[in-house]
Structure 1
Amino acid sequence: MFVDGRQVPDGTVIETDLAIIGAGAAGISIARELAGSGISVALIESGGFEFDAETQDLYEGEIAGVDYPLTSSRLRYFGGTTNHWGGWCRPFEPLDFEERDWVPYSGWPIARADLDPFYERAREVLQIRSPAFDDASAWEKGGQPLPLAGDEVETRFFLYSPPTRMGKKYRPDIERAKNVTCYLHSNVTEIVASPNGAEVERLDVATLSGVRFTVKPKACVLATGGIENARLLLLSNSVEEAGLGNRNGIVGRFFMEHPHVPSPATFLVTGLDLVADWYRTYTKVVTPAGNVVMRGCLMFTEDYLRRTKRLGTVMTFAPSHPILAEDEPPAADASEEEKAKAEEAAKRNAVFRSVLQLARSTTASPAASNEIGWRLGVGCASEQEPNPASRVTLSDETDALGLRRTKLAWRLKKSDADSLRGNLEAVARAFGGWGEGRVQILFPERDEWTEAEGWGNHHLGTTRMSVDPRRGVVDAECRVHGMSNLFIAGSSLFTTGSTVNPTLTLVALALRLSDHLKRRFAAGASEL
C-alpha cells in the first residue's frame, strides 16, 4: 500500500523488517521480489506519483569538474529515472568483470556467470521480449552484418525495453502487496548507526512540509541512485564522522559516466545499398505498433581490447545524406547566408567525392544515378577508466531539508580520450580494408579531456563493489563493509562501467540482492 509521508503523525516510529530507501528501478525490483514473502518492507520514496519541481530541486548541487547537469539527469518521484529512460539494454561482457592489468582499479568480486540467471529475470522485469543479445541469426531476415575487414570490430545487439516505466507498470504490485508499505514524499535525512557504527539503528525521515518520523529496520537497502547513494552515506555522519562505509575514504570516489561524442568521425560508403540490409536488419527492428525492439551497433572484440589494452566503445550509425556527383546550385533567390552555406557544403562534398571515387576505384563500378556515395551519421559512447579523483562530495550549500547538497567532480583522463581515438582508428581500418568505405577521424588527440561533448546520464561507481574494504564500499553481497545490515543497490555498485547502458545490470544486481535478503531473513534476523 501507499502512504503519504506528509500525513504521518509527527514523531511516529515505524518498525519494519526491511527498509528500502528509493523507489526507482532497483528499489521497486527488490520490493516486488519480497512482496508476499512475509518480510515486512518499508519502501521510502522522496517524491510522489508525478514530477514535482520542489522535490526535484533536492538533486541540485555544485559542479567542480567536467560540466554536468545534476538536476535534469535524474527524476525524483516514484519509478525514478525509469520515468524517462530510453530502454537500451545489453548485459556486460565477461571481460567487463575481470581485473584487467591495463585498467587501474578494475576487477569485480563477481563474474558475469554469477549474474547470468539474474540477467534472465531482469529481462522479464524490463519487458524485453527476446534473449538474443548475441544471436545474429535471430535478426537476419535476409540481411547480413557489414563485411568489415579484420577481427577488431563486430556487430552486437542492444535489445529495447518498451521502455518500462516502472512507477506505472509496477505500482499495482506495490499497492496490492500486504507486506509492503511505500511512504511517498518522504526523505531519509540520515541513516543513523549504532554507537559502534556496526549496524543501522534507525532512519530519520523528513518531508518538505515539515513532518519528521523514524523508521527502525532490521536491515536496510540504500537505492537512491549513483550520486545520491554516496551523498546519503556522507550525510550519515552523526556516529561515523566521515560518513557510513567511509572509513577508508572510498565513498563517493570513482564516479564514472559514459562520455558520448555525437560526431567523432565522418563515415563514407560508396553506396547505400551496401549498408541498407545491415541498417534495416540490424540497426532498428520496429514492431507494427512502432516499438523498437533491437538495435545493432559496432563494438570491439575481446581479443582486440586485450591486445591493444583499450577500453570499450559502442558506435551507432544512420544514413545521413547522399553525396552527389555534382552539387545542386542554391536557388536564385537564396540569401547571402544560404549561398555561403551552400559554398561551404560544396567544398566539403568535393573532398567527400574524392574519397569515394578512390574507394570506388578499388572495388565498385560507377553508380547509375547521380549518387556516388553516402555519408553516415554516427555517434559513440565509451567506457571510462575508474578514477579516484572523479568523485561525489558534499557542498557547503544546503537544500530545503537543511542537508548539504552534492558536489560533483566528474573527471576524465587522457587515457580515456586515447582509448576512444584508438578505437576510431580501428574502425577506420575495418572500413578501409572492406574497400567500400572510408573514415575521416574528427576526434582529436588530446593532452587532457576537461570538457565532455555529451554523456549518457549514467551515474556509476560511487559505492563500488570490492572484496577489499580499501578499494570498495560493499562486498560481493552488496553489504557495506563493516556493517551487518546495510546494503546498497543500483549502478553505484559498479566497479567498472563497461560501455553499455546500466539499467539491465543494475536490475540484475537488485534481483540477486533480493534472493540474498530472503535467505538471510529465512535463516533468522540475527544473522543480518
Structure 2
Amino acid sequence: MSATALEGALPHEAARRERAPSVTPRVVDGAELGGRRTISVDVCVVGSGAGGGPVAAGLAEAGLEVAVLEEGGHHPSGTLTARPRDMSTRLYRDGGQVVTVGTPPIVLPLGRGVGGTTLVNSGTCFRTPAAVLDRWRSEHGLEALDATTVASLFTRVEEAIGVRQVTPELAGDNAAVVRRGAEALGVSGRHLFRNARGCVGSGVCAFGCPSGAKQHAGEVFAPRAWAAGATTYTGCRAARLEVERGAVRAVVAHTAAGGRLTVRARHTVLACGALLTPLVLRRHGIGTASGALGRHLTIHPASAARALMDDPLDPWRGVPQSFYVDELADAGILLEGIAGPPDQAAMATPGQGEVHRARMLDVRRWATFGVMVADSSSGSVRAMPGRPGGVPRPLVRYDLAAADAERFRRGFALLARIFFAAGAREVLVPVAGIPPLRDGDTGPLDRATIRPRDVKAMAFHPLGTARMGADPRRSVVDPDLAVHGVAGLHVADGSVLPTSPQVNPQLTIMALATRLADHLSTRG
C-alpha cells in the first residue's frame, strides 16, 4: 500500500486496512431470532472469552459440532471507534459499572461480546507462577497440573495468540518514566509480554483494539472455531439448563429479539465468568453440595497513582500496560502500567472544579501507573433479588482486608519513590488522607495506617467462585473441570481457579480451557 494512500490515516486505521478477515464469521444475531427454535449439536459452549473461546475452537477442530452462546455482540475491529464514550456502553456489561457491595465499593468492569473480557483487557500475559501451581497441587489435589503438562499448555496458547514482549519504543513515554525511576533505584522491573501481532500503540486497549492487533479470544479462537464449522449465536443469554436423570441435556437461552433458543447437546461447557457461572449453577441446585459455589471470590484489586513530570509524555501514546515492577511480588504486590486517552483520564483524575481543570490542562505531563495486590480478602456472588423467573444478575459482596490495604500502602510508597527518582514534581495517590506528595517526600505515605475504606480501587480479575479440586466436599468442579455429580457439564472460566494466581489470569484460563478441549475431544 502506498504512502499516499495512507496519508492522514491514524496508526490503527492504517494497520486495520492491511488486515483482511481470513474467515467468514459464522454468526447468528439473536436480534433476528424471534419465536422458539431448537438445535442439536455435540457441544454447547456458553460464553466466548478466555475460557469458552479455546474450548470451542479445540472441539470444532476435533470434528465435533459446536454451538457458542454469547450474550453480547460481535465486534470486528472495523467497528471499534477508539472512543471510550462510545465503546464503554457497547463492549462492557452495564457500561463498565458493575460494582461490589462492601468496604470499599470496587468497580469491577466486565467485557460483553465475542471475546468476553479479553476483548477489552490490556493483553497482559503471565504464566501462573510455579509456587501457585505447587499450592494447587498440594492443597487442592490438582496433581494433573504438573510442571511439564502446564508448560506445554502455556506454549501452545502463547503461540496461538502471538505472545511477545513489548519493545521499549512501543511501550511509550509513560512506561519509560517508571522504567527510568526503577533503574535509578535498582528496583526489579521489565517490559510485559502481551498477545498482539503488529501492534501500533493506539493506547485504547481497554476499549477494543481498533487495529485488530490484539489477539483476543474473538480475534483468534472464534475464527478458528468458525473455520471448523462452529456457529456463534450472539445476543443470546443462557437462562436455564435442562437436566434429566442427573445429566445436562440442553441449554435454554433468551434472545435479543425476545425469542427462545434451545440448544440440545451431549456436552455443555459453562464459560460465563466467575460472576455469572455460579448463578446459572445455583439456579438448578447444581454444585451446591460443597458450599464452595459462589464463595472464595478473589478480584485482584488495583489502583493507580499519578505523577506530574516536567516534560510532556502523552501517556495515551503507546501500549497502556507495557512495563511492570515485581520488586514486591513475594508480598503479593505488582506494579503495572496503566494509561488511556484524555477522556478516560478525565474520569480518573482526582480533584474537583478548578483543581481538576488545572490537572487536565496539564494532562500531557501526568504519568500514570498501577498497583495490583494478590488479595487475601475473599468475597461472594449470589443472584440479585427481585427477578423471579428472569435471568439472574450478580450481587457481589467483597470487603477489602486490612492486610490488603497495607499492601496498597507499600505498593504506592514504592511507586512514589520510583516516580520521584524519575524526576516527578508531584505524586497523587488515591488514598484518603494522603496529601499530594512533593519534593521527593513519601513520609505521609510511609507513616500512614491505611484502612480498607481509605482505598479507591478497581478490579479486573474475578476468580474462584466454582473452584476446581479433587475433593467434592471442597470444590465445585473436578481436576478435569467436570461439575461434581452431574454428567455432561463442565466449567471453563476464571471461576475454576482455586486461588488467585497472583498475576493477570487470562493465560491461565486459556491453558485450562485448552486442556479441557483436549479431554473432551477424546471422548467425542
TM-score, normalised with respect to structure 2: 0.67
One-letter amino acid of the structure 2 residue matched with residue 116 of structure 1 = A
Write out aligned runs for 1:306-321 (5 A): 310-314=331-335, 316=337
Q: Which residue of 2 aligns with 1:481?
A: 484
One-letter amino acid of the structure 2 residue matched with residue 126 of structure 1 = I
Write out aligned runs for 1:377-456 (5 A): 378-385=369-376, 387=378, 390-398=379-387, 402-421=390-409, 439-440=442-443, 442=445, 446=449, 448-450=451-453, 452-456=455-459
Kept in 1, the 8 Å contact 2:297–2:381? The answer is yes
Q: Which residue of 1 aligns with 2:21?
A: none
Q: Which residue of 1 aligns with 2:20?
A: none
Q: Which residue of 2 aligns with 1:68?
A: 106
1:260 aligns with 2:302: yes
Aligned mates of 2:72, 2:338 — CA distance in 1: 38
Task: Quote the offset at 1:165 in angstroms.
Answer: 4.2
Q: Which residue of 1 aligns with 2:55?
A: 30
Write out aligned runs for 1:5-154 (5 A): 5=30, 7=32, 10-50=35-75, 56-57=93-94, 63-65=100-102, 66-69=104-107, 73-99=109-135, 110-111=145-146, 113-129=148-164, 146=182, 154=188
Q: Deviations over 1:61-82 (max 9, x none)?
A: 7853242345xx1232222223
Task: Quote the offset at 1:300 in angstroms.
Answer: 3.7
Task: Quote the offset at 1:407 in angstroms.
Answer: 0.9
Higher helix share: 2
Q: Which runs of 5 or more residues in structure 1 are unaligned?
A: 133-142, 238-242, 273-278, 319-336, 343-373, 522-528
Write out aligned runs for 1:109-508 (5 A): 110-111=145-146, 113-129=148-164, 146=182, 154-162=188-196, 163-168=214-219, 171-178=222-229, 180-195=230-245, 197=246, 199-235=247-283, 237=284, 243-263=285-305, 292=319, 295-300=322-327, 305=330, 310-314=331-335, 316=337, 378-385=369-376, 387=378, 390-398=379-387, 402-421=390-409, 439-440=442-443, 442=445, 446=449, 448-450=451-453, 452-508=455-511
Give SS of 2:396's match.
Answer: strand
Kept in 1, the 8 Å contact 2:320–2:338? The answer is no
Mark the CA change 1:127 to 1:375 in structure 2 (over 3 Å): closer, same or farther.
Answer: closer
Task: Quote the offset at 1:441 in angstroms.
Answer: 6.2
Aligned mates of 1:61, 1:300 — CA distance in 2: 31
Mark the CA change 1:263 to 1:75 in structure 2 (over 3 Å): closer, same or farther.
Answer: closer
One-letter amino acid of the structure 1 residue matched with residue 290 of structure 2 = N
Kept in 2, the 8 Å contact 1:473–1:481? The answer is yes
Structure number with bigger Rg: 1
Give SS of 2:28's match.
Answer: strand
Task: Quote the offset at 1:420 in angstroms.
Answer: 4.1
Q: Which residue of 1 aligns with 2:348?
A: none
Mark the CA change 1:459 to 1:515 in structure 2 (over 3 Å): closer, same or farther.
Answer: same
Aligned mates of 1:385, 1:105 — CA distance in 2: 16
Alignment coverage as a number of residue pairs: 425
Mark the CA change 1:172 to 1:466 in structure 2 (over 3 Å): closer, same or farther.
Answer: closer
Kept in 1, the 8 Å contact 2:406–2:450? The answer is no
Q: Deviations over 1:185-218 (max 9, x none)?
A: 22211123234x4x21221222132322322211
Mark the CA change 1:161 to 1:291 in structure 2 (over 3 Å): closer, same or farther.
Answer: farther
Q: Deviations over 1:352-399 (max 9, x none)?
A: xxxxxxxxxxxxxxxxxxxxxx99864311111252xx1001111329
Aligned mates of 1:443, 1:471 — CA distance in 2: 40
Task: Quote the offset at 1:253 in angstroms.
Answer: 0.8
Give SS of 1:13's match.
Answer: strand
Aligned mates of 1:86, 1:518 — CA distance in 2: 31
Give SS of 1:89's match.
Answer: coil
Deviates further, 455-464 or 444-453: 444-453
One-letter amino acid of the structure 1 residue matched with residue 375 of structure 2 = Q
One-letter amino acid of the structure 1 residue matched with residue 68 of structure 2 = L
TM-score, normalised with respect to structure 1: 0.67
One-letter amino acid of the structure 1 residue matched with residue 118 of structure 2 = T
One-letter amino acid of the structure 1 residue matched with residue 374 of structure 2 = E
Q: Deviations over 1:152-177 (max 9, x none)?
A: x6324421223224434555434332
Give SS of 2:39's match.
Answer: strand
Q: Deviations over 1:85-129 (max 9, x none)?
A: 2212222211223339xxx98886635544211211222232223
The two structures, once aligned, show a CA RMSD in angstroms of: 4.7
Aligned mates of 2:226, 2:267 — CA distance in 1: 22
Task: Quote the offset at 1:494 in angstroms.
Answer: 1.8
One-letter amino acid of the structure 2 residue matched with residue 78 of structure 1 = V
Aligned mates of 1:470, 1:516 — CA distance in 2: 23
Mark the CA change 1:382 to 1:81 in structure 2 (over 3 Å): closer, same or farther.
Answer: same
Mark the CA change 1:56 to 1:145 in structure 2 (over 3 Å): closer, same or farther.
Answer: closer
Aligned mates of 1:60, 1:378 — CA distance in 2: 22
Aligned mates of 2:56, 2:479 — CA distance in 1: 21
Aligned mates of 2:239, 2:492 — CA distance in 1: 18
Task: Quote the offset at 1:419 in angstroms.
Answer: 3.8
